Each structure stands twice: as C-alpha cells, then as structure tokens.
A and B are shown apart, each in its own frame.
Chain A
Amino acid sequence: MRLQGKGLIDRTKPLAFRFDGTQYTGFAGDTLASALLANGVRLVGRSFKYHRPRGILTAGSEEPNALVEVLEAGGQQTPNTRATVQELYEGLAARSQNRFPSLKRDLLAVNDLMSPFFGAGFYYKTFMWPRAFWETIYEPAIRRAAGLGKLSGKHDEALYEKAFAFCDVLVIGSGPAGLMAALTAARAGAEVILAEEDSRMGGRLLSDAGEIDGQEGLAWASGVLAELRGLPNVRLMTRTTVTGAYDGGTLSALERVSHHLADPAGRPRECFWRIVAGRAVLAAGALERPIAFEDNDRPGIMLASAVRSYVNRWGVAPGRKVTIFANNDTARQTADVLVAAGVQVAAVIDSRADAPTTGDYRLYRGATIVGTQGRHGLEWISVRDANGERRVETDCLAVSGGWNPTVHLTCHMNGRPVWNPEIAAFVPAENAVPGLIPCGAAAGVFSTAGCLADGQRAALAALDALGRKAPTLALPKAEDGTYAIHPLWAVEGARRAWLDFANDVTVKDVKLAAQENFSSVEHMKRYTTQGMAPDQGKNSNVGALAVLADATGRAIPETGTTTFRPPFVPTSIAAMGAGGRAAGFAPQRFTTSHAASVERGAPMIEAGLWYRPSYFPRPGETNWRESCDREVQFVRERVGVCDVSTLGKIDIQGADAGRFLDLVYTNTFSTLKPGRVRYGLMLREDGHVMDDGTTACLGENHYLMTTTTAAAGLVMRHLEFVHQALHPDWDVRFISVTEQWAQFAVAGPRSRDLLNSILDEKLKPEDWPFMACGPVRVGGVAGRLFRISFSGEHAYEVAVPARYGAALFRDLVARAETMGGGAYGMEALNVLRIEKGLITHAEIHGRTTAFDIGAEKMISAKKDCIGKAAAARPGMIGPDRDQLVGLRPLSPGKAIGAGAHLFKQGEAAKRENDQGYVTSVCWSPTLDSHLGLAFLRNGRARHGETIRLVDHMRKTDVLCEVCDPVFLDPTGGRARG
C-alpha cells in the first residue's frame, strides 16, 4: 500500500512490470521489492532446503529471501537477483525461483515436514547404500532439489567492461560519514572517488529522518553532493559496490551500469573497476540483524530499518497492522515513523525490561516472540512476557536485533574484527587492511553527529598519510543520541528459529553441530552451511556465533569469527571476466602473409597466439592429406614457400655476445664467423631441453637468434635473466625483432632459381654454402638471407622488413607456382621434418634431455653452460631413459597414432611392460609409408627390433620396426648440395 505524500519516488512516472506473469504498476525510483510491497505482494520466494515461503527481509543487497530471476527478451535471464536492489523499469519481468510448479504451491515444501530428518549434516550419515545409487539416484535428486535460480543455458551476449581508476582517496559509502569524508578530502584538493552501492547517494539519510545543520538530513546531503559534483577532482559513482580489498591499495568495485534500464542503448550491463587508491575510507555503514525466534522467517517479517526505508524512501506501508520486536532503541524509532506515516502499530515488543515507555502504542517490555502463524504471509504472533503468552494479530513484524558494522572489507586481508561489548557487535580491527580507514557506523559509531565527526577524522587521517594539508571544516550539528542495546540473539527455547534464512539454518542446527562436537566456529559453519548462502552470512554470522557460544558455554570473542572474503556482494563472472568473451581471451597474432593464405583457402590454425596456414587446398582435392602430400612432393622435387615469421627472432649485440651465447647454448658460438649460421641447443638450468634453433652471426659481435614459435617469450626472458642476474657486467644487449621481420622459407631443389628471380643480385653458389647467411636486396629492399633447412632440402629463409612481407609472400608463391611448386602449410612442414627426424616441441616436451634426443655430444665439454650440471645427474642419462627413435610399420600402409605406447612384441599392454610412446606421426609420400618418431627405453641400442604399438584411444595395435629417426637422406647431401 502506498502512503500518500511519502517517499522519494516519482509518482508522475508509473512503470508497468510483471512478477510471475502478473502485471503490476510501480513508480520510477522503486525497487522491485518496494513495488511488490506497494502492490501487496508478500510471498516472493522459497527457501533453499525446506522450500519455506519467503518474503522480503531487508531493503538492501544483503537480502537473503527475495531472490528472483529477471527475464530478458531472447530468453536470457539473471538468476538470484535481489528484488531489494533491482530498480524498477518499464516492462521489467521477474519470476520467482526454486519452486515447482508455482510459488504458492511448491511440491518440495514437503521437505519442511521432513525437517526432523533433514537436520544439519544429515546427508553425511545416509545415502551410502547401495553404493551405485549415489550417482544414479540420490545425487541427481539432491541436485535438482538444491540450487536456487536457473541460468538460461544461453551464452551471455551482453556487454561488460572493465576499467582502472586511480585516486588519492576512495570513499566507500555516502551516508553522513562518507559525505563528510568526501567533502573534507575534496576541499583539500585530493582526487576523490565517492562510491555508493545504492542508486542514490545519502545512505541512511534516504530512509531515516533527522536534522543536520538545521535542515532535513537529505537536504544537507543534497547540498554536499551539489558541491562535490561541481569539483573537478571528485568523481561520484552510484550503483557501484566496492567488492574487495587487495594488496597495494587496490580495491575492486562493481558498477551496475544498466541493470535499471529497459534499454541499455549500447551501455554495458556492468563495469568491473580496479581502483588504486592512496587511501580508502570505509564508510559503508552497518547492517541491522534479525533475532532468532520460532518461525521467524515468514513473509511479512522484516528488519525494522527496512520497514522504515519502505515507509520513508518508497512511500510504502509494508503492512496494515505492524508489530515491532527489538532489543534496542530502534523499536521506538520505528514505531514513531509508522505512527507519523499513519500506519497502525499493533504492538511493540521490547525484550528489555527497562525499555523506555514513550509512544502511543501497546508496549510489551521484557517480552519476546515465541511463535508466528500464516502460511504464505504473517497473520499473527505469540508474545510472551511476565504475564504469560498472548496472540497479536499482525501482517508485518519489524525486527531489530541491533546493528553489525559493515566490517567485511576490513577482513579481506585476513584481519579479524574485534568484539565491542558496548554495542554487542564486531568492529574493524586496527589497520586490518593497510590504508583502509573505517569510520562512522562501519566503525561502530551509531549517532549522526558521531558519524559526521568520524567521517571527517577519517578523511583527515587519509590526507595526513598522503602528505596533504587539510583544513578542518566546522562540523554540522546533528542528532547525537545514544544507542542502548541488550543482546538478544535467540529467544529462549527457540528451535526452528532461523539464523541463516537463505540456507535454512536454524538454532536447532547450530546446537546439533555443537552436540556432535563441531564446536569450532569454522566447523559449525561448514557442518550447518551457515553463512554460505547468497547473503554470505551477512544476516546470520553474528547470531549463529552467539548461539554457538551459548551452546558450548563460551563467550563470543573466545568463540571467534569466521572470515569474510571477497567479493562483498556476489559479483557476476561476466563482469570480472569482461573482455574474455570469444577471441578476447588472448591476443591474436597474425603474420604478414595471413590475408594471402586466407585468400588461397588455407585453414588457419592456432600456433600459440599466432595463426598459421594448415595447408593450401587446390581445386579437386577432397581432404587435407591430398593437399599435404602434394605440398611435400613439390618441396622435395621443385620448390615450396612457407611463412616462418612466427619463430622468435632475437637480435643480440655486444662485445660479450659470443661468450654469452656459449653460456646459454650447449654448444660453442663464440667461434662462429660472420656470415655463418649454427644450430644450437638450449637447456633449462634443470638440465632439460628448453629450445632449439639457429643463430646467425651477422657481423662482429652481432648475432640473430631464432627460437621456436612456442618458446620465443620464454627464451627472451631467460636471456635477460642470465644477463642481468648472473652476468650483469657482460657487455651484451638483446631485443626481440620477431615482429620486425617477415621471414619465408624457400625450400626445394629449385629454391635457388626461385630466389634468383627476385633478388637484385643473383646468388653465387660458392658464396652461399649450407649454413651461410648475409645481406641481400629484394626489389631494392634490404633483406637477409639464411641458407638453412628444416625440410632436409636445399633451402633458404629470406627475411625482409615486415611491411614488405605481404608483397614478398605473394610474389614468391606466384613464382613458385609457375615452377610447379607453391605455398606449403603446417601439415607439409610437419611431414618434411619427420621424414628428416627433426624435432619440435612434440619431442622436446619439457621432460627430454639432450641425451634423450641423441644430442648429448652437443653439450660442450670445454665450457660451462646453463643446465650442464643438472643434465649430468644420474637420473638424466643412461639406458633407463627413453630415447628418440624412428618407427616404421611392418606393413607401411598401417596408420599409427601419436600418443600410442610401445611394448615388446608379445607382451600385454599394461603399465608394467611400458617401453615408451610415440610423439609424432605422418604419412610420408616420399617414402610411401607411415612414419613415427618415438621415445623408446634405451632405444638407440634397439634399432632393428620389432615393437608393438598400442593405441587404446584410437583402437589400433600395430607392429613397427625401430630405426634411426632420420628416415631420409641420413648424410644430409640434399641440404648441402
């Protein structure tokens, strides 16, 4: 029911919305919760375990009960949306969740009748027999019953963003303390961000009347906000919840950018902020807490502060006959607000025997509530005091068990809050998060005047720490009442009295945990699941702790607390993962020949972050193998062109460059002459092969190292380490030039002819022996040429500055095609190198040593190198190691699979008999056979042996002959010729 003349809603803007299919109307400024209450809807959800009918408990993000699915056109939906936070917009559609078939008639409500058997931890004690029933019957049934809202199952296509922000002072919360802090810091010239979770700034001033500086609190706030808005050094952020405190002054925040809009019009749904703040002021207020009494979870039972919010901020009476139950002065405050708004107050039940008696309503002092009734909403309560028990008819009960300071962020770095008996609550520990200064209600200061002063104090402390001078502002005058509370956590004798509403944890459960010796607070939490529901224990942690303390005969501080962890409010994966969708997850790197390859129909495949052509199909070819075979053939017989720019290229210079290379490579490079290239093997310090590649000597003290595509970054980092950390006095410098040069392999017997057709000067064979390198000019462009081969053929790699890459590739390929060759892709490249027994990361997979690949002789005995000592450990060498071999199937047409394991002929395929495994396979059109590279136990001594290959995955079982890994041209004549 709306109250005339009350609330901050805009009655000129009615908004239509639907809940569970029924159409209702609210106003701009409403939340879904306030609008539902205004329409008399009290039943909003069902609880997690017992499927108890639930309404609206709070008016904020800590809401445990009123969780709904918000529906979007196109079938997308957001489950577990707090009706108390979701702002109303025209056409909003929401649905209740965790019920079947309907909210009113939920079949699983039978769970409530079964509750004697469903106590804390019951599932650990049953469902064990028969064993096979767990996955097939029990677990699926439990899973279906559990859970709350539903994901749509559709990709989340909405927009999300992430951003960084930097400031001197971040103020969290915009109540009196936060506003005063922001104003103080802003006037001192600091860069200030004021972040507020709500859609409006003002905090409790939006809901609770009271004067500040001789005007209505809200008017004072508006004045402050107007000033802040006008300052260039202040950024005001509403709908922004600070979610986490991390190291180095970094805080995370979630901005709900367009949750409140019917049409986001291109705006993101949410933005996830990383705010780096010199200092942060925590002015996040306090959360009111419930009291546990029998059946305290019915729709209509709300927190007293929420009742006042609905009345004052939204102009809604949450009931016709309201009762109030409290253990502190909030009782009177709430009654006064209701009376002033013309709402009937049926009774005030104050647990304190000495409660003040003012007010024009029925007051029960020293009384408690011992029962409630009403199936889908509260109808009456049972009140017990010294005079006995009586029923009071009521449809809304406002409860206040006192206030808990919002200490959560102060716990994010393992800080434990401390118990303050005066307010019967935990307050932040001193300096719990470096640079985060709690103030106001968040620090346990509960009067408006106190909050204003404390906000200023916090800001001054922040400014002082940042070395800024700040004027002390005159504090506005405001209410400075005292807060008197007499702790009451659970009404005596209460059993089914809810502590954790969302997870259905009652007083009885906590006591059972204690009875079974789950009496550490962490054990209790885990055993009962208290605090693990969507409200993250905000409504229940302190209460449950108090009940546990009582049950175990300990004091509250001695019992301890559980910790709060980020995020402060549940935060969507999409927001924190903004930018990761689709290709956004990792950078994409493209070669200069990319477009030309795509034009030729080549499927582009990932090679690390790069994309490389798999093969270049020709008309008439029906599968990749046909294309691949053709490409291999033309490289072996004529000429092929392949983009090899993705290999890492590191330019190395300096007087100690040669010496440096000697240290990072196993073999010697200091003897390499300008104009020559050498193959090098690089070990990790742990003795395993890290990478291999060629390094060219371009001139005196000037080298160009190539790495594999995969290891380019790793090698660069490694070189920097060896230099800066181990030999900083050596004169050597590196720079990665991978992107600067486009480089193409030109391979095959006619490679020189092809190159001669594009080089400004023809190649003199005597100047260009195998492993030569030097400058060339290509169409007037200065380039480099390397006579190296990864195919075993007479081959070159030609490099030009990257901007000429695209043109050169097209030119080379076109010319190659006229010579009966063409472009070749990764598949052919792989076949060519397997035929030659050349290794890639399939072989050097991180566990192989130089010994394993037959390259132990490459570890120079004359000098030290990285990894040399570790490679000499007994476990890294010897006949027990798996060594690189070649495999040829006895019948050449039999396919073999990489990943197959090797066994002696006639032995069973089981671990005990394992002899090794296959790393690479191909069909060799050159040798008309399938080929494989493999690691075989003591393999070099076993050439000629017949071995059994078993591949359970592809269901093959093939006999192969073990041979040398170099299948083709073992003397290397073709590459040299």
Chain B
Amino acid sequence: MRIPCPLCGPRDRREFYYYGADDYLRRPEEGAPPEAWDAYLHLRDNPAGVTRDLWHHEMGCSAWLVVTRNTVTHEVISVRLASEKEAAK
C-alpha cells in the first residue's frame, strides 16, 4: 500500500501512522454535551466503501494527512494536508 504524501510523494505504508476516521478533526467545543463527545470519540460510520481517514507521515515530513480511500478495494483516491482546512461543508 502506498500513500501519496502531498509533501513527499508516494511513500510506502510503513512510513505512516494510522489514526482512524477523520471525525477526529471535528472536536466538539468545550461544554458540548456528553453525546457530542461520544460521537466524536467513539461512534463511526465505518463505511464499506469510500472513507476519509487520518494518517501521519511519521517517518517522513510529520504531516498529518486526510486520505480519501476505499475500504473495500484499498484504492487511495486523494490526499490532503490536515492543516489545510477542508472546503466548507
């Protein structure tokens, strides 16, 4: 498996640390109800198909990446830096 890091180019999977679904990007505000935190920390769509998840180029440039990927075929569709805010949804 290879991930094209926007900064370093395509690299072997073993250079990256995996963190899970990109839900983790949307941290609730302080004081949000427990259900919001439960959803943030635990509940997942867990799709069989296209998903977006977070990878850290730990053995490379240290960038956190948002990878759009297919969980059934392992196809990597696109990659962006987590620090670049996603287009408003």
Contacts and interface: CB of A to CB of B under 8 A. Distances in A.
Contact of A721 (B34, B37, B64, B76): B64
Nearest to B76: A248
A248 B2 contact: yes
B75 A725 contact: no
A583 interface: no
B21 interface: no
Contact of B62 (A413, A720, A870, A873): A720
A572 interface: no
Contacts of B2: 247-250, 276
B56 A721 contact: yes
Nearest to A863: B30
Interface residues of B, number: 31
Nearest to A726: B27
A728 interface: yes
Interface string A673-712: 0000000000001100000000000000000000000000
Contacts of B24: 721, 725
A566 interface: no
A864 B30 contact: yes
Contacts of B13: 247-248
Nearest to B22: A725
B1 A246 contact: yes
Interface in B17-49: 17, 19, 24-25, 27-28, 30, 32, 34, 37, 41
Contacts of A141: none
A484 B56 CA distance: 56
A868 interface: yes
B41 A685 contact: yes
Contacts of B83: 723-725, 728
Interface string A861-883: 00010001110010000000000
A507 to B, nearest CB: 37
Nearest to A723: B83
Contacts of B5: none
A434 interface: yes
Given A247-B74, A685-B41, A869 B28 contact: yes
A276 B9 CA distance: 14
A869 B64 contact: no
Interface in A716-739: 717, 720-721, 723-726, 728
Contacts of A413: 73-74
B50 interface: no
A728 B82 contact: yes
Contacts of A717: 17, 56, 58
Contacts of A725: 24-25, 54, 64, 82-83
B79 interface: no
Interface string A226-268: 0000000000000000000011111000000000000000000
Interface string A836-862: 000000000000000000000000000
Contacts of B85: 728
A650 to B, nearest CB: 12
Contacts of A728: 82-85
B63 interface: yes
A721 B20 CA distance: 12
B3 to A, nearest CB: 8
A413 B25 CA distance: 31
B1 A869 contact: no
Contacts of A247: 1-2, 13, 74
Contacts of A864: 30
A724 B30 contact: no
Contacts of A686: 41
A248 B77 CA distance: 11
Nearest to A722: B27
12 contacts: A248-B1, A248-B13, A250-B1, A250-B2, A276-B12, A413-B73, A685-B41, A720-B64, A721-B24, A725-B25, A868-B30, A869-B37
Interchain residue pairs A-B with the least CB separation, the first 6: A248-B2, A728-B83, A864-B30, A247-B1, A724-B64, A724-B83
Interface of B: 1-2, 10, 12-13, 17, 19, 24-25, 27-28, 30, 32, 34, 37, 41, 54, 56, 58, 62-64, 73-76, 81-85
Given A413-B73, A725-B83, A869-B34, 17 more contacts: A246-B1, A247-B1, A247-B74, A248-B76, A413-B74, A686-B41, A717-B17, A720-B64, A724-B83, A725-B24, A726-B25, A728-B82, A728-B84, A869-B30, A869-B37, A870-B41, A873-B34
